[in-house]
Amino acid sequence: MYAKLAVSLFIIVILSFVVVGAQINSSNATVVTETPALEILPVEETPLVIQPIEETTPNTLTGSLVIEPVVEQTILTTIMELLMDKISVIRGQLVQLTASLFYGDGSPAVNKGIDFYAGEVKIGSDITDNVGKAKLLWDTSPFGANVYVISAEYVGENGVEGSSAGANVVITEVLPETANTSLLTAAAVVAPVVTAPVEKIESCTTVQFQDTEHVYGTCTQNMVRCSGLGNSTCATVEEEYRCETGQQVVTKSYQQCTTTKLRVNNGQKIVEIDLKEYACSNTESGSMITVICDSKYDGNGDGKCNSGESCQQILVNGTTIQKLEKNSDDEYRADDESYFMQDISMVVIQ
């Protein structure tokens, strides 16, 4: 009986341990919940568009960059020429200055300001006309005896380069008169200079050009030379001779001169006549000098006046100077109403 009781208790204890272990396992069990699989959707490919950069400088309103086109500026070159009716004067005489301003292609630079200088002293200004010319009549009275560099200057402006030209003018003083001429030394007595009644005044420029020259040197050649009776003995000898060895390009130059003025001197009066717009011829009879000029623009420019041409006649007779003109009339008049050309320019020096 006790044996059965002990077996029963043993079974009960075993079952208790089984039940407790089952509860423990139940409480420690991990609950696994099925999670649905993550579906990976395909990424839609969007093409990458690179926009061109159109901005380089900051825009104060948007903060973006704004491109500013670069405009290439063309610089025009200019050429200045300066002509003077006298290069040696007595203090107080007037000197006619004429500046001509051209672009590099030869066309006139119109409506440009030209400044004239005697050394560093500004003596006047003028505006170029429709043919690119600016003029100034320079009074030498304020200047002492000396050599002056007379220049015409164009300072340039936006897109146009400046240019200048100059030449020397000699100003001398008149010797004071003295009652006792015996005080003059032999060295001060100068023989009078005899000049032609009409002289041509030329303006010359140096023109350069390229030329091809032959180059010569010494060359050698083999020659058969014979001697003896009947040229019985012959031998080949080397001989030298002058020959062309090549060519070379050299720079040469020449003076190109144009008559710009006529200087008329009858011993009592000296007159300089400008030939820019006229061509002239002259005749002489004692102290009477007659100059006939026909227009290069309303004539054939041969210095002879034909019917229908615009002509001017200058008479230098003793101390009297007279200028006449004609166009449609056959006779010269002091004032021809049909004359429409610009009068010829002339300066009385003495």
CATH code where residue 166 lies? 2.60.40.10
Q: How far is CA 16 from CA 3, 4, 11, 32, 75, in A?
A: 20, 18, 9, 29, 115
Is 179 part of a structural domain of the chain? no
Is 51 part of a structural domain of the chain? no
Is 221 part of a structural domain of the chain? yes
Is 28 part of a structural domain of the chain? no
Read off the pLDDT of residues 119-165 as tens digits, 9 standing for 90 and up. Answer: 999 999 999 999 999 999 999 999 999 999 999 999 998 889 999 99
Clarify whether residues 167 and 87 are in a common domain: yes
pLDDT at 24: 45
Clarify whether residues 215 and 288 are in a common domain: no
Is 31 part of a structural domain of the chain? no
Clarify whether residues 308 and 336 are in a common domain: yes
pTM of the entire structure?
A: 0.34
**What's the number of domains the chain is made of?**
3
Is 123 part of a structural domain of the chain? yes
Print the domain residue range for 160. 78-173
Read off the pLDDT of residues 306-325 as tens digits, 9 standing for 90 and up. Answer: 877 888 888 888 888 888 88
Read off the pLDDT of residues 209-255 as tens digits, 9 standing for 90 and up. Answer: 888 888 888 899 898 888 888 788 889 989 888 888 889 998 988 88
Residue 103 pLDDT greater than 70, yes or no:
yes
pLDDT at 147: 92
Q: Residue 90: which pLDDT band, with cuts at 50, 70 and 90?
A: very high
pLDDT at 175: 54
Is 68 part of a structural domain of the chain? no
Comparison of pLDDT for 221 and 22, the residue scoring more: 221
Return the percentage of the chain with pLDDT > 70, whole number: 72
In this prediction, residues 326-347 reach a mean pLDDT of: 80
Clarify whether residues 86 and 146 are in a common domain: yes
Clarify whether residues 266 and 324 are in a common domain: yes
